[in-house]
Amino acid sequence: MKSNIFSGLTVGIIALPLSMALAIATGVPPELGLYTAIIAGVFAAVFGSSKVNISGPTAAFIVILIPIVQEFGIAGLLLCGLMSGVILILVGVFRLGNLIELVPYPVTVGFTSGIAVVIATFQIKDFFGLTIESFTGSYLDKLFLLFSSFTTFNIFEFLTAFITLLILIFWKKTKSKIPSALIALGFITIVVALLNHYYSLNISTIASTFSYNINGLEGSGIPPIPLQFSLPWGHLDSSQINFDLIKKLLPHAIAIAILGALESLLCAVISDGMTGNKTDPNKELIGQGITNIVVPFFGGIPATAAIARTVANINSGGTAKLSSIVHSLFILVSILFIAPYISYLPMAGLSALLLIVAWNMSEIKHFTNILKTAPKDDIYVLLTCFGLTVLIDMQVAVAVGIGLASILFIKRTIDLYSIELVSEDMSLHPDLPKDILIYDINGPMFFGAAQKAMKTLINANDKRDIVILNMKNVTMIDMTAMVALKSIIDGFEAKNKKLIFSGLSNRVQKKLERAKFDYVTTFSNINDSIEYAKHLLNVLEE
């Protein structure tokens, strides 16, 4: 129990500034990130499957959430989170979690590397203290804004970020159990507070950037009040909530659900590998779904399992769900008692923290390894997912990435299929008459492989009187393949030639019978098929 309390406090120290930084990067007030961490840490632990996963706002969501906030506001974002929660529950209930785990590695690396590049790019503004009134538009638009705004470079903001970055990097090398974020941000916050007070440098902080007005209580920075229940759509007029709005938000909600599922299950795989536990993917997704339904009612943004915080939890001795709950309670207590001090955190320091997050999730080693060693198809998929994520939109990247994954799977399944002429090998069938052809078919016969079979057998139709298809190694057959086979059979019959099936499995045999293939001659083994073919050939010759 003590180890779980200690690990929960450790993760809470890490999650406190990170949750605020992620919320700010998304385009919402920092307290929303804290609310998300509090609710997600409890509900995902209670209703999910993993004992050690820590859930909350994550960097992976930033790219998806920014355009939602810009187009639909915070209320639209909360509704999207609610809808994504419903989708995640449905995925878990229908036991589709195992399918999500099958997304190819180049797709996930392309996503995460692209997200990392976007996050890092968006931190340039605060890292260098640039003044940009409206930081909106596409990725290329934002790049142009950044470069054109370097005339507003602020040396004090830059030094704040740079010193924070150095401490974050070098403190980790000391292998101290004290989180580097606590040391770096604690030190830089004190320094900035003193400089702003005595020298009026006006280095941007959470307090100088954000303000709040909650139930008549006004102030700057983080509001020192506990969680408050509110309807996610409370900021919208009743006339704005309609089917048209839901239809516009649905693609965003699906993208959030897919990415959240991928992130959660990837986190589960990593944590299971470190602890020896076995996470039920479907129960884990149901837990994440419930979490994302509850979070918006307390003003929180979409959440999922966070890999970095989960690894920190395990390394700190976390073994049970208690550690996640303790981490949430720590953040809640911090809001109630030290919110004014948290508000002194400099924006430039938080940008340095997010740069470290972006670097850790960049998968740079895996990205370059795929480029060096993977087949060309995998490289094309990797670069496509990466490029779409960075240049266009994460929603488009998710859709295209899943589509490419499906196409890649189909292509490789087709490559497993083969149809080979074996009758000309005298060592296999020494006494076979020349007018009989034997083809061995191997692998699944589905819509992709059916075309290949048709081309081969149509050519065979013009050459021989009898063709035997040895289908002993055919593992499955779909409707497209059956239609193709029926077309081939009809072509043979029209020319008074014969097609014989051999070695059908019970499963394939039953499918052909249901499709009314009962008029086709079939045999259980190749020898019986050859004997019948010889007899039939004699009859045709007479």
Q: Assess whether pLDDT exceeds 70 at residue 64.
A: yes
Q: Pairing mode, if any, of strands 217-220 and 211-214?
A: antiparallel
Model confidence pLDDT, tens digit, residues 416-444: 777 787 776 666 677 788 778 888 888 88
The pLDDT score that the predictor gives to residue 313 is 94
Q: How far apart are the first and last CA of the chain?
A: 90
Phi, psi (deg, nearest 5) at residue 218: -110, 150
% of the chain at pLDDT higher than 90: 54
The pLDDT score that the predictor gives to residue 200 is 92
Q: Assess whether pLDDT exceeds 60 at residue 462.
A: no
The pLDDT score that the predictor gives to residue 4 is 95
Task: Quote the tokens at residue 248.
Answer: 């516009």
Q: Which residues of 347-356 are buried (b: 16+ CB within 10 A; e: fewer)?
A: bbbbbbbbbb
Averaged confidence pLDDT in the chain: 88
Model confidence pLDDT, tens digit, residues 7-32: 999 999 999 999 999 999 999 999 99
Looking at the DSSP bridge assignments, the partners of residue 445 are: 477
What's the mean pLDDT in 166-178? Answer: 91
Rounded-to-10 torsion of CA 150, 156, 162, 167: -170
d(CA 37, CA 21): 12
What's the mean pLDDT in 195-206? Answer: 94
Q: Assess whether pLDDT exceeds 70 at residue 67.
A: yes
Identity of the amino acid at 33: G
Give the HSE-up count for residue 262: Cα atoms under 13 Å, Cβ half-sphere.
Answer: 21
Smallest CA-to-CA distance from 198 within 210, 190, 209 is with 190
Task: Quote the tokens at residue 501.
Answer: 């099936």
Q: Assess whether pLDDT exceeds 90 at residue 445.
A: no
The pLDDT score that the predictor gives to residue 437 is 83
**Where in the chain is CATH 3.30.750.24?**
418-541
105 pLDDT band, cuts 50/70/90, is: confident
3-state helix, strand, coil in the chain (%, to 5): 65, 10, 25
The answer regarding whether domain 418-541 maps to CATH 3.30.750.24 reads: yes
